[in-house]
Structure 1
């Protein structure tokens, strides 16, 4: 579609508008936006529901191959107060940074000398009623 066209009534070129850039200026509300620290996409501030430490974000970026994050993580000038400060994360990135409760209970993450007892799972009587009684275990 041309940017200008003649109406045929002697008025000359006229903008056919409204275009998306003009509509968005009028119809959007001013919402403060910030970037997610991990994915660096911009979100409205209420949508940044996750919080993680800056060190965990740098470690995750370094595991993705980001050389700048690896350099900043190993830099001696980066203070501990900066590394362990909370940074905003979107809900998707927060699940990547925050440790999974299943991983926290896994035996490989348990400290040496301490045993974690897994709760024994037994099926309910209702579920046991569906088992075939003719089959020997």
Structure 2
């Protein structure tokens, strides 16, 4: 398997993937800031899929919700456009879930844009279940879905 913990040396590869996921005009600056946070703050653990460079990454955030007990959230999951539909995302999710189990997490959540059909279908195939619709979450008029999965 080509999945390992991310390190500081992976920042450029992760940033390049993240820039394709961010729709802001200053995506490089935003992506660089996000990558700095996910690679340095202890509340995050990131994994990378490496095959002649970084092809994908995923980030798990511990204690994402105040008062929650034993839950975490996959806050980022990205695969290079050219490498999609080859099982990289599913492999990353499986490894992230195993990592979460090893850390005592009982349930993992994700948030996804309600209009992103590809993403929603992906998470359903990973056995995540719809739990809530968050109205106007991304911006005015943009709803998000909260999906969760019991992992233990």
Please tell me the TM-score bracket, short chain as reference: under 0.3
Taking structure 1 as the reference length, the TM-score comes to: 0.23
Taking structure 2 as the reference length, the TM-score comes to: 0.21
Larger radius of gyration: 1
